[in-house]
Amino acid sequence: MRLRMLVTLIVLASGGLRPPLAQASSFEREVLPVLTRAGCNAGACHGNLNGKGGLKLSLKGEDPVADLAALTRDMLARRADPIRPDESLILKKATAQVPHEGGARFARTSGEYAIVRDWIARGARPDAPGMPTLTKLIVSPANKVLFDPADRFTVRAVARFADGTARDVTALAAFEFTQVGVAKITPAGEVLREQTGEVVLLVRYMGAVAPVRVAFLPDRPAPDFTALAPNNDIDKLVFAQLKELRLKPADLAADHVFLRRAYLDAVGVLPTSDEARAFLASTDPRKRERLIDALLARPEFAEFWAQKWSDLLRNEEKALDKKGVAVFFRWIAAQLAADRPLNEFARDIVAARGSTYAHPPANFWRAVRDPLMRSESVAQVFLGVRIGCARCHNHPFDRWTIDDYYGFAANFARVDYRVLANDKKDALDKHEFVGEQIVWQNRTAETVNPRTKSAAPPRFLGAVTPDTTDGDRLGAVADWIAAKDNPFFARAQVNRIWLHLMGRGLVDPNDDFRATNPPTNPELLDWLAQDFAGNGFRLKRTIKAIMVSRTYQLAATARDRGTMGDDLHHSHAAVLPLEAEQLLDALAQVTGVPVRFSGYPLGLRANQIPAPPQSGRRFGEQGMGEKFLKAFGKPDRLLTCECERNDDPGLLQAFQLITGELMNDLIRDPDNRLGKLLSSGATDAAILDELYLAALCRPPTPTESKKLLALLAAAKDRRAAWEDVLWALLNSKEFLLRR
């Protein structure tokens, strides 16, 4: 036994018993793809961080050198036996000839077996130096839509290499669907329908991944699009996709629906009853576009969108203190009000240093306190990339390696803090300080790469990195992020804007751009990004382009039942719950009673409060306004992600609306809108009209008027009856939802 092992090692060291023959199996081009295709190096198997059953392979074959050593040197070279290839443990395990927890991965008669056996028989050698690298993986078709009874099609994968050669690698590529149950695929690349639906097929070969969008749809007539005039290029791209899917867009939303939607989406508040009356009465054919222009010029626009950016930039009192939160919020709002280019806005934040009071964007670094947190936050917010998985191992679903992760973190390793003498420890966290801090760069600080055990050299993600070893690393990475040709920034920002206006990003989650998470409409995302970057990265311009589109202005309901099942392609508007601040401000506006926030003057709206006051306190210790915002999902701003805001309905929300102290106070206040209307001597019909316009942006229907006025006429206590009507309006779905 020992003699056989010794001979095997000698054979391996000498390159095998036989000289290389023509077209021998390639380790990197064939053997590793076979292992990937069989799932051997998946995260749930030997590609796990700690391996499985004593064998550890790199995830998806990302480290060929380590994999070669594991297969040919470990276990006294028992895994690959050039003398008796069929006795190699890797083959016996994969074909279940010996016990294998993963079961049989391929058969002895398969092409996969032949490739691995041939490689072992020829000496289990590495590939010759200088082998051309893979430059592109081309998968056809890239998009396939089939209508019943069609239930199958074939995928073909072609690899192109640096020397200009190409090879059909369909039999070597790994196939994976983003969700199970819609379709399956044969080893030969034939995709078979399992049920109607849409799914993405991911085709992987040698580290390259290509997505194929697949739709198996029921047979339905092709809708007539001739009468649907697009308002702009957004509509053209959306309608082209809907036509391909045989989905007819919904009708345009009614004026009162559009009015309410536009106010809530652009400025976060409802129109007043007078504004609603004026818009509904207008016969101007361009009144919707004129309304959008007017909303983008209002101060509420900057305050509302500053709240969104404050969520992302972790603008909260626990880390920044109350003054830091206030100056940061005001700075963000001022940039948005002036329509500052978003790339310059991003550059100011990433390159910021100095006093957190005198130079507000420096507060961003006060909220993210270590290099790893900083790099993950910057990548997620400004680039739309989640690199956190690469902290411990190469990213399983993206191209980022451990070296990429720690190289990017090295750009932020030198951020340091100087605490002024009059500052004091924060009672909420002994590691934080109340008061002004100075952000500066410590030119001696570095980030250690745990793989190399040495300081990681600074690295940009997927781009050439200038030498900043001894220079201004923050300034360099800020300039790269803000550059017009940055491949990430524009796409991430327009996708975020689309999410806030349309209810779902073209890439979802909106800050998780990767080849394995393709956009629902790639052409539309490309157009939005190019238009955004080509016109100065202006937020207001992109918002207007989306809001004036027919796509944005569609109704939330459609006559076609098949269209109503569409949640991805924007054939109709999304129905969304009001955000916490929108809802609280709407309640205060409709009732005419301002909500008090501790530490702030009475009369400020929820969207004007820089951060939730006393956000570190428990729910039971907060005031009514704070309780309400917390119950309806206002985030604590502990994550750089929209996902922290939670709008899922729950019992706590129901209690707040039905019997909550705040709701009761708003409705019963003697000086609220209802009280003033009753005191003015207005008729029941006039009061009803006013309340409907204030809450729902429309007058009551004849049926609603008839029933409610009859109820009010029969009431013994007029004020109490009107309170019931107001309560019912404020608890109606039409009020609580943006549609």
| 85-128 confidence digits (pLDDT tens) | 999 999 999 999 999 988 999 999 999 999 999 999 999 999 99
Class assignment of domain 134-217?
Answer: mainly beta
CA gyration radius, the chain: 31
Question: In whole angstroms, what is the distance from residue 104 CA to residue 94 CA?
Answer: 5
* DSSP one-letter string for 267-315: TSSPPPHHHHHHHHH---TTHHHHHHHHHHTSHHHHHHHHHHHHHHTT-
Q: Cα-Cα-Cα-Cα dihedral of 39, 41, 42, 46, to 10°?
A: 110
Distance CA 653, CA 578 (A): 12
Residue 117 CB-density burial (10 A; 0-12 exposed, 13-18 middle, 19+ buried): middle
CA-based nearest residue to 546, from 501, 511, 496: 501
- Phi/psi at 704 (5° precision): -65, -45
| Nearest CA among 725, 591, 717, 597 for reference residue 663 | 591
Residue 2 half-sphere exposure toward CB, CA atoms < 13 A? 0
Cα gap 523→531, rounded to integer Å: 12
Tell me the three state secondary structure of residue 417: strand
CB atoms within 10 A of CB 561: 8
The pLDDT of residue 613 is: 56
* Gap between the Cα atoms of 340 and 482, Å rounded: 13
Residue 103 has φ and ψ, to the nearest 5°, of: 70, -175
The whole-angstrom separation of Cα 542 and Cα 548 is: 10
pLDDT at 183: 96
Tell me what pLDDT residue 433 has: 62
Q: How far is CA 219 from CA 141, 197, 379, in A?
A: 21, 12, 43
For residue 610, what are the CA distances in angstroms to 52, 240, 289, 309, 324? 50, 42, 30, 11, 10
CA proximity to 589, closest of 282, 268, 304: 268
pLDDT 10s digits, 602-622: 899 999 999 865 544 444 445
Give how far the C-alpha of residue 316 lies from the chain's centroid of Cα atoms, to the nearest Å: 22
State how far Cα 7 lies from the chain centre: 55
Helix H or strand E segment including 441: strand 437-441
Closest CA to 513 of 618, 388, 386, 687: 386
- Specify the pLDDT at position 270: 98
Between strands 143-147 and 208-217, the pairing is: parallel
CA distance 510 to 496: 6
Tell me what percent of the residues of the chain surpass a pLDDT of 70: 93
Contact by Cβ (8 Å): 574, 505: no
Residues 6 or more apart in contact with residue 300 via CB below 8 angstroms: 267, 268, 269, 607
Look at residue 560 in the predicted model and tell me its pLDDT: 67
- Three-state secondary-structure class, residue 251: coil
Neighbours of 357 (CB within 10 A): 19
CA atoms within 13 A on the CB side of 129: 0
Confidence (pLDDT) at 3: 42
Give the burial class of 464: count Cβ atoms within 10 A of its Cβ; 0-12 exposed, 13-18 middle, 19 or more buried. exposed
Q: How far is residue 301's CA from residue 269's CA, in Å, rounded to a whole number?
A: 9
CA torsion sign for 444, 450, 451, 453 is positive
- Which regions of the chain are under pLDDT 50? 1-22, 426-431, 615-621
Report the pLDDT value the prediction gives residue 62, as an integer from 0 to 100.
82
CA distances from 157 to 64, 174, 654, 721 (A): 22, 10, 53, 70
d(CA 526, CA 528): 6
Q: Which three-class secondary structure string do you get for 105-141?
A: CCCCCCHHHHHHHHHHHCCCCCCCCCCCCEEEEEEEC
Q: What 8-state DSSP symbol labels residue 554?
A: B
Query: What's the rounded Cα separation, in Å, for the pair 32 and 28?
Result: 5
Interval 249-303: pLDDT, tens = 999 999 999 999 999 999 999 999 999 999 999 999 999 999 999 999 999 999 9
pLDDT at 453: 93
Q: Which helix (H) or strand (E) holds 407?
A: helix 402-410
Looking at the chain, the domain(s) classified CATH 2.60.40.10 span 134-217
Tell how strand 174-177 and strand 437-441 pair up. Answer: unpaired
CA angle 250, 251, 252 (to 5 degrees): 120
Q: Are 29 and 51 in contact (CB under 8 A)?
A: no
Read off φ and ψ for residue 609, nearest 5 degrees: -80, 120
pTM: 0.89
Rounded to an integer, what distance in angstroms lies between the CA atom of residue 409 and that of residue 474? 11
